[in-house]
Amino acid sequence: DAKTTQPTSMDCAEGRAANLPCNHSTISGNEYVYWYRQIHSQGPQYIIHGLKNNETNEMASLIITEDRKSSTLILPHATLRDTAVYYCIVRFGNQFYFGTGTSLTVIP
């Protein structure tokens, strides 16, 4: 059973913020939420992760709801190079379980 659910696809205008949602309603207290992205025919690339606090780094921000049942990845100023499949992942111990992914298209 999938641990995360994501919309299949989204579009975003170049320069605007891209907000990618993820539901992880069965997450347990010690499971982290990770986001990776995958550009066609390449290995997934780490973006950000968190447990219960909101996180920000040079690539993105991660907003986790207080009940931890959902989260949102925010790319503040999307560029054409951000077009990729974005995966929301739940990590339990050393195991990373990928969700179905959202295909984000950034439109000029």
Residue with smaller CB distance to other proteins, 30 or 95: 95
Contact between 101 and other proteins (CB under 8 A)? yes
In the block, which residue shows the tokens 């550009």? 39
Cα 5 from Cα 70, distance rounded (Å):
9
With binding defined as CB under 8 A, does residue 36 bind other proteins?
yes
| 43 contributes a contact to other proteins by CB under 8 A | yes
What residue has token string 């974005």?
Answer: 86
Number of residues binding to other proteins, judged by CB under 8 A: 19
Structure tokens at 71: 């989260």
In Å, how far are 12, 35, 66 from 83, measured between CA atoms?
A: 9, 15, 29
* 42 binds other proteins, rule: CB under 8 A: yes
Chain residues binding other proteins by CB under 8 A are: 32, 34, 36, 41-46, 49, 87, 94-101
